[in-house]
Structure 1
Amino acid sequence: MKYNKIVLFFCISAPACMLMRILQLMFTVEAETGFFNAEYGSIGYYLLAFIAVFCAVTVILCFTGHRNPDHPPKKNIFICISSLFLAAATAIQLFSESFSGTVRLWQSVLLMLTGFSATVFFLIYGISGFAGIKPSPVLAVLPAVYYIMRLICDFTSVSSLALITDNMLVLASYSLSLLFFISFGKLYNGIDPEYNFRKLMATGMAAVILCLTQSVPYFIINVLTGGVYRHTSVSCNFALLATGIFAAVFIFSHFSYSNTVASHSGKVEEKYYI
């Protein structure tokens, strides 16, 4: 399928999923518990299923795409700013959240170490667009390592309350973010160039949809209700928002027509640097 049609479907899916999530929170979820209420619970499940369908169709369409830039995009101001924004959000989440003894000490330590490494990476990645720094592409694997630990720790801490809609969406968002950053790291290290571009597009767009579907309605509902709905932390949703923005900016920059033309003409940055 043509890239423009995939983008069109994505642009329809993302707002539709956010709208369904807002309706779900307003009418089918109990603010006190986070679970579906008895009266409209079935509608809540249907809305959740529709969100999953939109994500699944987006992924399927991305795997039918053929636009394959040979090299990562040249950093623009949007990539740099979104990377710095993600660095700040990751650091805030890392130092503000507490698992209250629900995860083991070694898990917390690894989460802090990998989170700090990912924060430094996003900071360097954002600054490099302005300062001309050329870090090693090996560093591009650091975000994926962090999201592995983030997913493990969050799943461990919320497993007993996994049916709360927020927890389901947060874990799904982390899972797709992990897959996106795995493809991100493979892109910068020249691994699997024949097939990785489809995985990058599919996981990136799906991650954007889920990250925004969880975070944007969360902030809207709390603004409308005066901060009543707090079943996930502000820092968690802030980090998901930053992740979604970074993934969107990177995907659209990488698969842009200008980057595709530049890649095939050879007018790109050296592939051995981030």
Structure 2
Amino acid sequence: MKNKIFWIALILLVPLTVAGRTVQLLYMTEPATGFFKQDMAGLGIAMGAVLGAALAAVLVLCRCLRPEARPRPERNIPLAVVSFLLAAVQLYEAAAVMLTDAGLGIADVLHMLLLFGSIAFFAMLGVSCISYLPLPHILTLLPVLLWGFRLITAFTHYTGIASIAENILDIAMLCFSLFFMLEQGKFLCGDKKKPGRWLLAGGVCTAVLCAAATLPRYILAICGQGSLIHDGAMPNFTDLVLAVYIIVFAAGLFPWRQWKPVH
């Protein structure tokens, strides 16, 4: 029953937040600034507050219910597929960084190196899911470093308090993504003190925020409404694939039906 509560929360929150964010971009946001229209600001803030309260409720439930993860399956084909997909998307992102017309600065070089490190982790995780090759524990640190770097550069990229407020959803997404990477690394390294206590809750929150931050923008672009997306809020396809990866990762560890260990 513990795991079902979290899966129900995920099933409800993802479509609701994606739909709500799409409505915000269509009718409540000024494309030129990225802020809510004056007559819609109250409703927009209220919708954000409801999402924040829902994510906080997920974390509180995690604290109270403490769902436990089962041992990671030796063979997990779906996880291998999404791991390879995430590695491929990050490889494309690294290639885009290398081919930038503006030239490579120190931050770009560091970003590219961290991307290659994260690619190595997800590729090796995929290999370990379809073979008996172990995943080197040191590799679990690499995606943590990448998402930490992305969070730091988000604050430096968004100049001024107004710009940070405009991209608050992206900031929240990166914070939870970093938290999930930390919890994932602890789990894969064999931390048995509190297995699954925060991994599932962090995964649910991260998947919801990744979907809310990316899917509505892609939906508008596909529907020919790309002009409604502010230039400073373009989606990163890596974040969308990460949401899928988290769902598949969690499904292998926290099944819908109660898992009972075999003695």
TM-score, structure 2 length as denominator? 0.87
What letter is aligned with 2:164? A
Q: Are 1:23 and 2:23 matched, yes or no?
A: yes
Partner of 2:221: 222
In 2, the alpha carbon distance for the partners of 1:74 and 1:211 equals 28
Q: Secondary structure at the match of 1:265?
A: coil
Deviation at 1:70, TM superposition (A): 5.0
Partner of 2:114: 114
What letter is aligned with 1:47? M
Paired residues in the alignment total 257
In 2, the alpha carbon distance for the partners of 1:145 and 1:77 equals 26
Partner of 1:61: 61
Where do 5+ consecutive residues of structure 2 fail to align? none
Partner of 1:185: 185
Q: Are 1:194 and 2:193 matched, yes or no?
A: yes
CA shift digits 1:3-26 (9 cap, x unpaired): 212221221122111111111111
Q: Secondary structure at the match of 1:4?
A: helix
In 1, the alpha carbon distance for the partners of 2:140 and 2:27 equals 42
Partner of 2:204: 205
In 2, the alpha carbon distance for the partners of 1:14 and 1:260 equals 25
Q: Label 1:91 to 1:155 Cα distance change in 2 as closer, same or farther (>3 A).
A: farther
Partner of 1:144: 144
Deviation at 1:156, TM superposition (A): 1.0
Q: What is the alpha-carbon root mean square deviation over aligned residues? A: 2.5
Partner of 2:234: 233
Query: Structure 2 matches for 1:74-93, cutoff 5 A?
Result: 74-93=74-93
Q: Secondary structure at the match of 1:35?
A: coil
In 1, the alpha carbon distance for the partners of 2:95 and 2:37 equals 34
Does structure 2 retain, via aligned residues, the 8 Å contact 1:17–1:54? no
In 2, the alpha carbon distance for the partners of 1:258 and 1:124 equals 29
TM-score, structure 1 length as denominator? 0.84
In 2, the alpha carbon distance for the partners of 1:178 and 1:10 equals 19
Q: Are 1:265 and 2:251 matched, yes or no?
A: no
Deviation at 1:139, TM superposition (A): 1.3
Does structure 1 retain, via aligned residues, the 8 Å contact 2:3–2:255? no
Does structure 2 retain, via aligned residues, the 8 Å contact 1:208–1:244? yes
Q: Share of identical aligned residues, percent?
A: 25
Partner of 1:163: 165
Q: Secondary structure at the match of 1:63?
A: helix
Partner of 2:244: 245
Where do 5+ consecutive residues of structure 1 fail to align? 267-274
In 2, the alpha carbon distance for the partners of 1:196 and 1:107 equals 36
The one of the two structures with greater contact order (alpha-carbon pairs below 8 A, sep at least 6) is 2
Q: Label 1:42 to 1:148 Cα distance change in 2 as closer, same or farther (>3 A).
A: same
